[in-house]
Amino acid sequence: MGNELLVQDMIRTSRELLAACDALELAGRDKAMTEDRYRYAKSVAMVRLAGTLKNAAEREANVHLARVEDVDGEPVTVGDLRFRRDLAEASAGSAMERVRSLRGILSGFQTQANALREELRLANAGPHMEP
């Protein structure tokens, strides 16, 4: 790989990595927000069900069907919020894997750049033998 092409690939990958870090931050925030909404809705539903279902196992089994109001006033079930939470968690995990992948690619480019730099040093100075 030529020097100019390597530099271009490193710059492109660095930009992609910065964008992936931004996406990871947003995904992490979304994960936290959906987790908070789910936990709040589940707590509210559990309290409501406590009046009708005395057994904790029955409440736990039925809580996902309980209807609650989302933060935007939309009626949803606790199960819907759990799905949104799980989806946000998967998205955050995917975003983290993208960052890790790009870091690995960039590290490989850095290794190539170091090898190229060493080749140029040897070509310009020649090998030196130690006595």
The pLDDT tens digits of the residues spanning 12-47 come to 999 999 999 999 999 999 999 999 999 999 998 988
Instruction: Place 56 in a pLDDT band, splitting at 50, 70 and 90.
Output: confident
With 0-12 / 13-18 / 19 or more C-beta atoms within 10 angstroms meaning exposed / middle / buried, residue 13 is buried
Q: What percent of the chain has pLDDT over 90?
A: 61
pLDDT at 54: 75
| Model pTM score | 0.77
Q: What is the mean pLDDT of residues 58-79?
A: 87
Q: Which of 18, 10, 27, 20 is nearest to 92 (CA)?
A: 27
**CB 16 within 8 Å of CB 106:** no
CA distance 98 to 28: 14
Residue 86: enclosing H or E segment and its boundaries? helix 78-125
Write down the domain spans for the chain: 3-113
CA distance 32 to 88: 8
Q: 104-124 pLDDT, tens per residue?
A: 999 999 999 999 888 888 888
**CB 63 within 8 Å of CB 45:** yes
